[in-house]
Chain A
Amino acid sequence: MRHRLHIPHLSVLSCMFLLLAACGDRNDATADVSGTPLTDTAKLLSITDNGGYYIVKITDPWDTAKILHSYQLVPRGEDVPRVVGTTKVEIPLKKSLVYSAVYTGIIDEMGAAKAITAVADAEYINNPYVRKGVADGSITDVGSTMAPVVEKVVAASPDAILASPFQNAGYGAVSQLDVPIIEMADYMETTPLGRAEWIKLIGLLYGRYNVADSIYNAVSDAYNDMKRRVADVESHPKVLTETMINGVWNVPGGRSYKVRMLQDAGASYPWADDMSAGSLDMDFSRVFERASDADYWIATSYGYPMTRATLVADYRPNERFKAFKNGNIYTCDTSVTPLFDEFPFHPERLLNDYVVIFHPEAADGLTLNYFHKIN
């Protein structure tokens, strides 16, 4: 009995093996094919146009000597030689699973929202098209990004999944499915325009490369224009960011993306001498020592409007900061403003706010997009 059961299995397996080997022999090309580069500012993303297909290389943000993932984007239905070591993705995507509100917003802006057929963490996505789709069932909600419901992912059968990679963390059971995962490491870019350039990858994936390219050029021009406005300012006001939560004050590291934007807006940062790109966990003493004389204080809240009263109720010594005494605190409730959803691909909108706040003298014709002065 055992033998009879095994023989057919073995033969099927060996046939499959031969078939696969044959396919490989016929179509494989070398991995380091060169093409026309389409990106220049992003440090972790490189896209090349290889005539007939595109090669996308995403650098490992935690070990920049390594490649995190390479993709070969092939126009749907075209027969091109496969590039070894890459994941094949047929473009434009017709059905996609999107993990983050950051991407749904920009996909909609490019006019490709129809290709969003499933989302994770749906309750945090404010995009009207997606909200409507989730409500009427045309867009599948696969649950939490940390543990998506695999059956729903399979049922949605997306052409690709747009997800954010985390250090030493996989994608769980979803990675076992035969669906390419586009590892969107854009959030690990160290410059605002570098991150914004990832729009080109999204554009390519959704068949809107030209739209993406023109959005990026407009963003880049607007950002640089904003930067030029404050290039010659004489004063560089000192800026304190965020608030202490349960005894820990999380401030961005001196080489971080956030600090880069503050500096681009003509501000000075108390920890500019710090060399880290991540964030620093500090106690009140250390923050107060360096930032008690900060001219401005930029802080966000989630779910409630921050006021002078909530700042004092949270931690009384907050009232000792110069910015508190002068009333120069600017805040934004990120549960009702689209700040976090928009700034990755539209850093010029956030920079606009910074310029208006720190250098009103250079902000003719500009108004605040997200922040408001505290009550």
Chain B
Amino acid sequence: MTVDRPISDRYRTVLLIALGLLTAMLWLACMLFGSVDIPADRVAAIVLGQSNDASEETWRTIILMSRLPSATTAMFAGMALALAGLQMQTTFNNPLAGPSILGVSTGASLGVAVVMLAASGAVMGYLGVATASIIGAFLGAGVILLLLLGFSRIVRSTAMLLIVGIIIGYLASSLISLLNFFATQEGVHSFVIWGMGSFGGMTLERLGIFAPLCLLGIIASFMYVKPLDAMLLGENYARNLGVNVSRTRNALLLLSGALTAVVTAFCGPIGFIGLIVPHIARLLLRTSSHIWILGGTALCGSAIMLLCQLISVMPRSSIIPINAITPIIGAPIIIYIIVNRNKIFYLR
């Protein structure tokens, strides 16, 4: 393996602080700049609760009920997806693994497809389209995750489990195509929009459920630093180090699956972030040690997701779907990684 100039832990700490600051700045930018121009001092006054002017009611609604939940959701979603991707890459020892590879997000899509394309209107009338699709997504992702865990008990080889996961994903996709084919135009339209990913449908009430769930998953991820590091060395080494490989594998599957399910349910299937961000973190921190990489991945994930959200509301006449932006940022990085695989630190 070609090894570039090694860097010190001190440098890494500085880098992580810088990434944290960048994330905070991008969150602020998402609050300050949006599809509607609002002066920065008024944004600050509104956020700090110092605006009581009735003429600013419209701006208050936009900032507190739309921008605040969207920006905060983007921050948590980026973190959650990137961590899920990192866990998948380590678990499967595969640099091209990501949160969507095991079909968990496809399962969520299937749940939403059932709600939007096949369920009776009564369900949507009772819960509202958005709530019904969140529940559908959770159920769909949950079923796929349970199936995977079931197979994980039977299939010992990690590579085989990956293949099973991919096949389950294909099965779910084919069911989605079938539902789409027989669905109404209105249903297909809503489903296509959902599939493009968005933070714009988030409200403060939903953020109240979404953020704690994400936070729980993120904290749990940091508790798996040691097992993840052991998995990096391969299953046999991990076993020698006293790690219960199959239990760890199941726990990581459950954790990354849950993180992916939460984000997909609330924001739609957001691609690329989970796949590319761990690589960016490895490139920046020049290590694969999870004590550094987990933090770097979480912060890079947030920063990139916030940047995508910022770009999506920038055009004057329309909005750009999130999933149209992530590959533009992601594709060049993936190609760089494939070309320069040797330079990236997959081992400590």
Alpha-carbon distance A313/B67, docked complex (angstroms): 19
Alpha-carbon distance A280/B318, docked complex (angstroms): 6
Alpha-carbon distance A244/B190, docked complex (angstroms): 10
> Of the 9-residue stretches B148-156, B161-169, B200-208, B211-219, which lies at the interface with chain A?
B200-208
Task: Encode A24-63 as 1/0 by CB contact (under 8 A) with B.
Answer: 0000000000000000000000000000000000000000
- Contact check, A285 vs B34: say whether CB atoms are below 8 A apart: yes
Q: A280-B317, A282-B318, A282-B319 are in contact. Are A316 and B66 (CB under 8 A)?
A: no
Q: Which of A147, A283, A310, A335 has most chain B Cβ within 10 Å? A: A283
- Contact check, A246 vs B121: say whether CB atoms are below 8 A apart: no
Q: Is B193 an interface residue (CB 8 A)?
A: yes
Q: A285-B34, A288-B66, A316-B205 are in contact. Are A310 and B128 (CB under 8 A)?
A: yes
- Out of B66, B131, B313, B317, name the residue touching A313 (CB < 8 Å): B131
Q: Is A225 an interface residue (CB 8 A)?
A: no
Nearest chain A residue, comparing its CB with the CB of B125 = A304
> Of the 9-residue stretches B99-107, B179-187, B224-232, B287-295, which lies at the interface with chain A?
B179-187
Chain B residues with Cβ below 8 Å from A284 are: 62, 66, 200
Alpha-carbon distance A266/B292, docked complex (angstroms): 64
Q: Classify chain A: how many residues form its interface, as a range.
A: 35 or more
Chain A residues with Cβ below 8 Å from B127 are: 313
- Out of A274, A283, A289, A314, name the residue touching B319 (CB < 8 Å): A283
- Contact check, B184 vs A302: say whether CB atoms are below 8 A apart: yes
- Out of B62, B194, B198, name the residue touching A285 (CB < 8 Å): B62
Alpha-carbon distance A284/B222, docked complex (angstroms): 35
- Out of A146, A302, A312, A315, name the residue touching B186 (CB < 8 Å): A302
Alpha-carbon distance A301/B125, docked complex (angstroms): 9
Nearest chain A residue, comparing its CB with the CB of B58 = A292
Alpha-carbon distance A200/B34, docked complex (angstroms): 48
Q: Is B54 an interface residue (CB 8 A)?
A: no
- Contact check, A303 vs B124: say whether CB atoms are below 8 A apart: yes
Q: Is B29 an interface residue (CB 8 A)?
A: no
Chain B residues with Cβ below 8 Å from A320 are: 61, 65
- Contact check, B35 vs A282: say whether CB atoms are below 8 A apart: yes
Nearest chain A residue, comparing its CB with the CB of B189 = A245
Chain A residues with Cβ below 8 Å from B130 are: 246, 313-315
- Out of A285, A302, A317, name the residue touching B187 (CB < 8 Å): A302
Alpha-carbon distance A184/B127, docked complex (angstroms): 38
- Out of B61, B125, B268, B321, name the residue touching A305 (CB < 8 Å): B125
- Contact check, B62 vs A288: say whether CB atoms are below 8 A apart: yes
Q: A285-B34, A302-B184 are in contact. Are A247 and B131 (CB under 8 A)?
A: no
Q: Is A286 an interface residue (CB 8 A)?
A: yes
Q: Count of B residues near A, CB < 8 Å? A: 45
- Contact check, B193 vs A285: say whether CB atoms are below 8 A apart: no
Q: Is B340 an interface residue (CB 8 A)?
A: no
Alpha-carbon distance A313/B131, docked complex (angstroms): 7
- Contact check, A314 vs B193: say whether CB atoms are below 8 A apart: no
- Out of A144, A288, A304, A305, name the residue touching B58 (CB < 8 Å): A288
Q: Which of B128, B182, B198, B321 has most chain A Cβ within 10 Å? A: B128
Nearest chain A residue, comparing its CB with the CB of B185 = A124
- Out of B36, B65, B201, B321, name the residue touching A244 (CB < 8 Å): B201
Alpha-carbon distance A247/B205, docked complex (angstroms): 15
Alpha-carbon distance A315/B70, docked complex (angstroms): 13
- B179 → chain A closest CB, angstroms: 13
Tell me which residues from 253 to 293 in chain B have a Cβ below 8 Å from any Cβ of chain A. Answer: 268
Nearest chain A residue, comparing its CB with the CB of B131 = A313
Task: Encode A299-332 as 1/0 by CB contact (under 8 A) with B.
Answer: 0011111110111111111001000000000000
- Contact check, B128 vs A246: say whether CB atoms are below 8 A apart: no
Chain A residues with Cβ below 8 Å from B34 are: 283, 285
- Contact check, B203 vs A317: say whether CB atoms are below 8 A apart: yes
- Contact check, A285 vs B121: say whether CB atoms are below 8 A apart: no
Chain A residues with Cβ below 8 Å from B36 are: 285-286, 288-289
- A311 → chain B closest CB, angstroms: 8
Q: Which of A146, A247, A304 has most chain B Cβ within 10 Å? A: A247
Alpha-carbon distance A281/B35, docked complex (angstroms): 12
Q: A317-B61, A335-B121 are in contact. Are A285 and B199 (CB under 8 A)?
A: no
- Contact check, A281 vs B200: say whether CB atoms are below 8 A apart: no
Alpha-carbon distance A334/B181, docked complex (angstroms): 20
Alpha-carbon distance A78/B64, docked complex (angstroms): 72
- Contact check, A247 vs B35: say whether CB atoms are below 8 A apart: no
Nearest chain B residue, comparing its CB with the CB of A313 = B128
- Contact check, A283 vs B66: say whether CB atoms are below 8 A apart: yes
- Out of B58, B62, B65, B196, name the residue touching A316 (CB < 8 Å): B65
- A313 → chain B closest CB, angstroms: 3
Q: A285-B34, A313-B127, A316-B204 are in contact. Are A245 and B193 (CB under 8 A)?
A: yes
- Contact check, A292 vs B61: say whether CB atoms are below 8 A apart: yes
Q: Is A248 an interface residue (CB 8 A)?
A: yes
27 A–B pairs (Cβ distance < 8 Å), ordered by A: A147-B181, A245-B193, A246-B194, A246-B201, A246-B268, A247-B193, A248-B321, A280-B317, A283-B313, A284-B200, A285-B35, A285-B36, A286-B36, A288-B66, A289-B58, A292-B61, A301-B121, A303-B120, A304-B121, A304-B125, A310-B129, A313-B127, A313-B131, A314-B130, A314-B131, A315-B203, A334-B186
Shortest Cβ-Cβ A-B pairs, 6 listed:
A313-B128, A247-B200, A303-B121, A247-B198, A304-B125, A304-B121
